Structures are given as C-alpha cells and as structure tokens.
Chains A and B, each alone.
Chain A
Amino acid sequence: GAVVSQHPSWVICKSGTSVKIECRSLDFQATTMFWYRQFPKQSLMLMATSNEGSKATYEQGVEKDKFLINHASLTLSTLTVTSAHPEDSSFYICSARTQGLYGYTFGSGTRLTVV
C-alpha cells in the first residue's frame, strides 16, 4: 500500500532557529501533499496544500513566510519553520493524495518542541 514517510519524528530546537521537516511518498508519486498542525488534545488543522512544481496554497491565518513549503519533486515535500518560537511547538503531520479518487495517506507526524 501507499506509504508516506515523515522525518524527523521529533525535534527540539532553540528559539530563533529554523527547522525543516520532510515528507516523502515511498512507493507512489504525489503531485499534491498537505501539511497539518495539531495541538495537544485538538484536531488537525490544515496549514497548506503543497503542489509539485508550483507555490503552495496556504490556509487563512497561516504565515507563508514563516512556514516555507517546497515541493520540488513528485515524492518530496518539505516544511521549514523559520525563526521558530515556543508557540510553534506542535505536532506537524503531512499527507499525500494517493491513487483513487478518495485516497489520502498520512505520515506518522513530527513533534516539534521549541525551547
């Protein structure tokens, strides 16, 4: 079946630094990937839609200059949290459209802690 690999699974960084999270489709090509953020005991909030070879589409209220998304190939999308602050600490999850009209596969998530 379709597998999405997300790396790293957890990361701790200092306030003011940048962190990059990778999302790879292992056995299929993903022209569209999605990035979500999840705070403790809350649901997933869609941050942006990542399209291969074009600019990402951000949801309302998401700072595109802070959350940089790059989808340079059909199997890799990256999310870079720039100048991270403690309030950016969260669980970040990516997903990819898979074959079939209703298919979505999710990564295992990245726990970001900014200290």
Chain B
Amino acid sequence: TQLLEQSPQFLSIQEGENLTVYCNSSSVFSSLQWYRQEPGEGPVLLVTVVTGGEVKKLKRLTFQFGDARKDSSLHITAAQPGDTGLYLCAGSEGFQKLVFGTGTRLLVSP
C-alpha cells in the first residue's frame, strides 16, 4: 500500500508552461523529500522540507510542506525540456525508513 498519493500521474506540457505536482497522505511525516529520477538511474534529491508550512525555492522549483505535515506540492515555473523526468515525493517516518509516493511522470516538449 502506497502511503503517499501523487497527482497527476502523468503530465505532458510545452516548454514555458507552469505546473504543480501534489503529494498527499493521511499520515504525518517527520520530513518530506522530493526527488527526480531519470530512466535507469537512482533518484536524486531535490529538497527536504521539515516544518509545517515551510516553503523552499530551488531556482524555478518551489516546494511547499503542508501545515499539518501530511501533504506537499512542487511547482515548476517556465518548464524546460531538461525538467523531463519522474518526480517522486518521499516521507520519512520517525527519521528512519523513507516511503515513496506514486510518482509523477513529466514530459516537457520544446
């Protein structure tokens, strides 16, 4: 059972468009991380959010952690083809194991 549900599952957009990916759970997490994964490779960490309501920015990416620490969002401004990949949220339970969300596959076309 996946504890973290992501939406949408798949997103195909044109270069320059904005998008938001959502990560929702009924569980409270100690921390939540966002990763990006390329085919045939391990996931690469983008950001870690810890405090409820926290907002972090990484260039064109904005991450938000819900006030109750159950959900998170990733917003990409002016998407580029290089942003194409599988985006995964992951929640840490008790600072131990990391459980991944269902994933969002993003395709940005030129």
Quote the shortest CB–CB distance from A57 to chain B (angstroms): 8
Quote the shortest CB–CB distance from B88 to chain A (angstroms): 6
Q: How many A-B residue pairs have CB under 8 A?
A: 52
Per the CB 8 Å criterion, the residue count for chain B at the interface is: 24
Please, what's the 1-or-0 string for B25-44, where 1 marks a CB less than 8 Å from any CB in chain A?
Answer: 00000010100000011111
Q: How far is the CA of A49 from the CA of B45 in the complex (A)?
A: 20
Q: Is B84 an interface residue (CB 8 A)?
A: no
Chain A interface (Cβ < 8 Å from any Cβ of B): 4, 6, 32, 34, 36, 41-46, 49, 91, 93, 95, 101-102, 104, 106-109, 111
Chain B interface (Cβ < 8 Å from any Cβ of A): 2, 31, 33, 40-45, 48, 50, 86, 88, 92, 95-103, 105
